[in-house]
């Protein structure tokens, strides 16, 4: 099986939601990042150019597209501008999926991935929607993360931990924030 082939939505969801664990999602290793890059870079590139109907054909397919566009780049391109390059496409796909009610038609334990592109946005309106969706999702852990993300956008208008990767100059206020233990995401 060629590693540079474009994967199907089902392969993406199976890998992310069944092969990997929550620990893999939130505490990834360089080895996992490399495996995801090897197996899914071609898929990410293809979806960055065109989200074809196959990726919108079902709630699970929509979930697969969002994982490829929002989650995988954070692994594949960690500590680079590429980690955020398809965020806008992920947000568009998330909004389309939400409009179609796709989030409500997947397993509860996977639903939060529909909301994360909004949580990753540097736009306050997206952040407010993220918090509202996570409140309705009724999971305190995910809601807490959403609220912390929104608080950073309220305070700084952007995610200061991205500045170094995006070539942005940090303000003194952002520098003080980044010096705090646990700053950033």
pLDDT of amino acid 3: 66
The chain-wide mean pLDDT, for the chain, equals 96
Structure tokens at 147: 């609220």
Rounded Cα gap, residues 142 and 103, in angstroms: 15
pTM: 0.95
pLDDT digits (tens, 9 = 90+) for 130-163: 999 999 999 999 999 999 999 999 999 999 999 9
Rounded Cα gap, residues 66 and 87, in angstroms: 9
Q: Produce one character per residue of 136-166: b if its CB has 16 or more CB atoms within 10 Å, e if not.
A: ebeeeebbebbbebbebbeebebbbebbeee
Mean pLDDT for 164-185 is: 94
């Amino acid at each position: 099986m060629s590693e540079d082939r474009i994967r199907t939505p089902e392969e993406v969801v199976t890998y992310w939601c069944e092969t990997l664990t929550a620990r893999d999602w939130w505490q990834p290793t360089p080895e996992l990042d490399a495996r995801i890059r090897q197996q899914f870079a071609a898929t990410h590139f293809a979806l960055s150019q065109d989200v074809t109907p196959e990726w919108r054909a079902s709630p699970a397919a929509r979930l697969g597209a969002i994982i490829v566009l929002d989650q995988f780049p954070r692994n594949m391109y960690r500590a680079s501008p590429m980690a955020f390059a398809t965020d806008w496409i992920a947000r568009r796909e998330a909004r389309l999926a939400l409009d179609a009610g796709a989030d409500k038609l997947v397993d509860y334990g996977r639903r939060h991935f529909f909301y994360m592109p909004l949580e990753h946005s540097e736009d306050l309106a997206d952040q407010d929607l993220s918090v509202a969706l996570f409140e309705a999702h009724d999971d305190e852990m995910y809601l807490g993360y959403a609220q912390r993300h929104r608080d950073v956008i309220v305070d700084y208008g952007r995610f200061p931990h991205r500045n170094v990767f995006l070539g942005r100059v940090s303000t003194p206020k952002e520098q003080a924030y980044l010096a705090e233990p646990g700053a950033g995401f």
